Structure 1
Amino acid sequence: MTAPAPSGDRSTVRSLLPLPLLTAALSALAVVWAVTSVPESAQALVGCGGAIAAVLLCVAVTAAVHARRAARSVRAALRTATAEAERVAQERDLQAERWRREHQRHTDATAHERARLAEEFTRERAVRAQEAEAERARLAAEVRRLSGQLDRALGDRDTAIASTANAAARMQALATGTLADLRAMEERHSDEDVLADLLHLDHRTAQAGRLADSVAVLTGARSGRRWARPISMESVLRGAMGRISGYQRIRLHSVSDTAVAGHAAEGVMHALAEVLDNAANFSPPNAEVHVYVEEVPAGAIVSVEDSGLVMSDVQLRRAEQAVSGDAGGLGGLTGTRLGLAVVGRLSRKHGMKVSFRPSARGGTGVLMLIPQDILTAAPSPVRRPADPPARSTPTRAPQPRLGAPAPAEAATPPDQAPPQ
């Protein structure tokens, strides 16, 4: 953009406009003067030369005037451009200053915001640290409180278990002594009614002794009976039958010529009693429970087959877990599960394996593997354990033959739910 020329320049230009005309007039006068001043013979030559000189002078003056006028225009444009450049520079400087101030303000604001956020973060972290410390302290106090309660509960549990074991040991001693007294009475009395009552009490006491033994097994106490010599497999089976109420429905189809080592005979007999009692209790009142013994390279397998309730898959899994010896604590062990837990503890102690399967007779079959390392040759003559199957007649008849019905006794299995 070209700024308008100042008023002083316009006046100067207007003053220069007549200069070529004035030069032409003066040149014409000079030529006329020169022509009139020379002789007539030289006037033509002087006139031509003067005219030429006057024209050249006018041209030179005109060129000079135009050059001066152009120089003034250029200077004016230069001044205008310089002024415009200075104005742009000033605007640029002002814009730069504004930008610098805005940047500084933004930087200050950002730094202030960062400082504020850092302060808030520090304060929040301190608050969170305090809350975490308080929570840790509360949890530590709660853990200490619960640990104290657990220690007291464990102490109470250990005390209760010890007391239960002590009571079980007393019950075992009492049952063993009572059985000895009853059998001494059986030998002294010949009256059939008295002998029948004594035999009934003998059988009931044997069942009470089994219950005391079960409590002892579950509480980790020692068994109330220990045998110094091996016990034949038939005596072990009949001893197990004598400890259950429904023994008269047990049918022995085969036995083994082997015997169970004395240190393990009581455990095997007790475990078999629990299995037989479970089979009799969950069979119809008049149904028979069939027992088979088979010798295998790994030991002897006792099969117990009943025609009672069929266990579901869930019940079978729970029963397998119970007899594996991993039933856990005693809490929640009731009824049949209590007996299976006893079988599990004894199986783990003596290396026996117990499994369940559907029975071909419509109920449940139990297989008990007695390992070879607790089996030995049967002693001769065969000795019965201290608590053989209860005799229900006063005639002191010999033990029933294998596969034949046992002596009759009025015993009805209690109503119980199937094993859970």
Structure 2
Amino acid sequence: TARLTAENARLKARAARAETERSAALTACANAAGRMQALATSMLADLREMEHRHTSEDVLADLLHLDHRTAQAGRLADSIAVLTGARSGRRWAKPIVMESVLRGAMGRISGYQRVRLHSTSDVAVSGHAAEGVMHALAELLDNAANFSPPTAEVHVYVEEVPAGIVVTVEDSGLVMSDVQLRRAERAVSADDADLTGLTGTRLGLAVVGRLARKHGLTVSFRPSARGGTGALMMLPQEIVTRATTPRTTPEPAPAASAPAPAAAPAGTEPEPVHTLGTDPAARPSAPEPMRSDSASETTGNLPKFGESGLPKRSRGRTLAAAEARARATVPEPARETGAAEDAPDPKARAARFSSFRNAVRPDSPPPEDSSR
């Protein structure tokens, strides 16, 4: 009996030590994710200052490419924060319209140009849940784009139902077997929080599952009529509301989308999103990657913007501060006549390039203070 008691005590001590080590590892990962988020924010601030300072279209295209890559790194840091239970997102004081949430999610993936939105809904997502919904949709869109042929489109539909809002993401890529569908649904289940079977290919689904449990989302999968897989995410009525202000001209989130080539043939028109209606005269001659509409705590922009164009922070270096400082130095593009129209200078071209980006940026209420 004494021997069993001693062995039991030893096993309990080992279990307690293992739990302590596990908690310490999660804390370390959460701290590392926070530092990555802060670093990405600082890098984005520097990049966006340079975007307003340089006038060459080629330089702007390269800077936007780096902007996009940096925002994607920030999204990965956000995912790590979600998996480790750390704080990973902002909260807005006002609801965010669904179209802006969708465009913000598009902006966090590399294949944004292949995503087609089919949404006429004027509903909005409550401010406290907008970041989580946006992040979850970004993971579903990323999966759909990655598991589809490089030229295949991903289609997104929004439907209002009595229980809430259903967002459907359909691709024409690989067809999942019944076993794979059940495994994917377990990964995003609101009842399964086990990460022991987590693999690199299912990292995004694990993030979706955590966010679904947090915000009451319901995620399911089914074969798609397009030949691939369809992912359905239902937002409950508790986090859905109506937009309080009429929508203005839709503007694609300056989202972190697929990087455009550093140089493009003359006359090439950017195609941030096919559903946009923009003035062709205001389009640049080189494609511009969408900048991230991330509502994450440290990286990217917001689905809607205030007067500064970016969310404000209470401490540290912010993208809003960088944007405000940079805008103060940008001259208003002046229309010249005569020979000037035939040979516009680089500053005029850059101004039109910047005007296009600003013309497709949605308005958004500022987030609540979320200093780390």
> TM-score higher than 0.5 here?
yes
Distance 1:403 1:280, change over 3 A: farther
Cross-structure match for 1:358: 223
Q: Which moved more, 1:265-274 or 1:174-183?
A: 174-183
Q: Say yes or no: does 1:162 pair with 2:27.
A: yes
Q: Say yes or no: does 1:149 pair with 2:14.
A: yes
The total of aligned residue pairs comes to 272
Deviation at residue 387 of structure 1 after TM alignment: 5.6
Looking at structure 2, the residues matched to 381 and 159 of structure 1 have their Cα atoms a distance apart, in angstroms, of 47
Amino acid at match of 1:235: S
CA RMSD of aligned residues (A): 2.6
Looking at structure 1, the residues matched to 22 and 5 of structure 2 have their Cα atoms a distance apart, in angstroms, of 24
Q: 1:183 aligns with which of 48, 60, 80?
A: 48
Deviation at residue 248 of structure 1 after TM alignment: 1.7
Looking at structure 1, the residues matched to 163 and 180 of structure 2 have their Cα atoms a distance apart, in angstroms, of 28
Maintained 8 Å contact 1:283/1:308 = yes
Cross-structure match for 2:339: none
Distance 1:384 1:230, change over 3 A: farther
TM-superposition CA deviations, 1:223-276 (whole Å, max 9, x none):
143333322211111111111112221111224211111111110000000000
Deviation at residue 321 of structure 1 after TM alignment: 0.9
Distance 1:397 1:376, change over 3 A: farther
Deviation at residue 143 of structure 1 after TM alignment: 2.1
Q: Say yes or no: does 1:332 pair with 2:197.
A: yes
Maintained 8 Å contact 1:229/1:261 = yes
Looking at structure 2, the residues matched to 387 and 262 of structure 1 have their Cα atoms a distance apart, in angstroms, of 19
Maintained 8 Å contact 1:308/1:364 = yes
Q: Say yes or no: does 1:317 pair with 2:182.
A: yes
Name which one, 1 or 2, has greater alpha-carbon Rg. Answer: 1
Deviation at residue 392 of structure 1 after TM alignment: 3.7
TM-superposition CA deviations, 1:112-166 (whole Å, max 9, x none):
xxxxxxxxxxxxxxxxxxxxx3xxx333322222211111111111011011111
Looking at structure 1, the residues matched to 221 and 237 of structure 2 have their Cα atoms a distance apart, in angstroms, of 21
Maintained 8 Å contact 2:65/2:260 = yes
Q: 2:68 aligns with which of 181, 203, 216?
A: 203
Looking at structure 1, the residues matched to 74 and 254 of structure 2 have their Cα atoms a distance apart, in angstroms, of 10
Maintained 8 Å contact 1:252/1:402 = yes
TM-superposition CA deviations, 1:167-197 (whole Å, max 9, x none):
1112122223322332232222221111111
Maintained 8 Å contact 2:69/2:256 = no
Cross-structure match for 1:7: none
Maintained 8 Å contact 1:173/1:224 = no
TM-superposition CA deviations, 1:54-107 (whole Å, max 9, x none):
xxxxxxxxxxxxxxxxxxxxxxxxxxxxxxxxxxxxxxxxxxxxxxxxxxxxxx
Deviation at residue 398 of structure 1 after TM alignment: 8.6
SS of the residue aligned with 1:304?
A: strand
Deviation at residue 201 of structure 1 after TM alignment: 1.1
Q: Which has the higher contact order (CA 8 A, sep 6+)?
A: 2
Cross-structure match for 1:298: 163
Deviation at residue 332 of structure 1 after TM alignment: 3.1
Cross-structure match for 1:283: 148
- Structure 1 or 2: more helix by fraction: 1
Q: Say yes or no: does 1:235 pair with 2:100.
A: yes
Q: Which moved more, 1:366-375 or 1:393-402?
A: 393-402
Cross-structure match for 1:400: 273
Distance 1:389 1:299, change over 3 A: farther
Gaps of 5+ in 1: 1-132, 410-420
Deviation at residue 328 of structure 1 after TM alignment: 3.5
Looking at structure 2, the residues matched to 212 and 222 of structure 1 have their Cα atoms a distance apart, in angstroms, of 11
Amino acid at match of 1:400: V
Deviation at residue 337 of structure 1 after TM alignment: 1.7
SS of the residue aligned with 1:362?
A: coil
Cross-structure match for 1:267: 132
Distance 1:288 1:396, change over 3 A: closer
Amino acid at match of 1:352: L
Maintained 8 Å contact 1:279/1:306 = yes
Looking at structure 2, the residues matched to 401 and 271 of structure 1 have their Cα atoms a distance apart, in angstroms, of 22
Q: 1:251 aligns with which of 116, 126, 135?
A: 116
Amino acid at match of 1:388: A
Q: Say yes or no: does 1:388 pair with 2:261.
A: no
SS of the residue aligned with 1:357?
A: strand
Q: Which moved more, 1:381-390 or 1:143-152?
A: 381-390
Gaps of 5+ in 2: 263-267, 278-286, 290-372
Deviation at residue 218 of structure 1 after TM alignment: 0.8
Looking at structure 2, the residues matched to 389 and 396 of structure 1 have their Cα atoms a distance apart, in angstroms, of 18
Q: Say yes or no: does 1:214 pair with 2:79.
A: yes
Looking at structure 1, the residues matched to 192 and 269 of structure 2 have their Cα atoms a distance apart, in angstroms, of 42
Looking at structure 2, the residues matched to 195 and 393 of structure 1 have their Cα atoms a distance apart, in angstroms, of 11
Maintained 8 Å contact 1:255/1:292 = no
Looking at structure 2, the residues matched to 200 and 267 of structure 1 have their Cα atoms a distance apart, in angstroms, of 25
SS of the residue aligned with 1:342?
A: helix
Q: Identity percentage over the alignment? A: 72
Looking at structure 2, the residues matched to 385 and 161 of structure 1 have their Cα atoms a distance apart, in angstroms, of 36
SS of the residue aligned with 1:290?
A: strand
Looking at structure 1, the residues matched to 151 and 213 of structure 2 have their Cα atoms a distance apart, in angstroms, of 33
Maintained 8 Å contact 1:231/1:384 = no
SS of the residue aligned with 1:226?
A: coil
Amino acid at match of 2:172: S
Deviation at residue 336 of structure 1 after TM alignment: 3.0
SS of the residue aligned with 1:376?
A: strand
Distance 1:287 1:399, change over 3 A: closer
TM-superposition CA deviations, 1:275-313 (whole Å, max 9, x none):
001111111122111111111222211110111111111
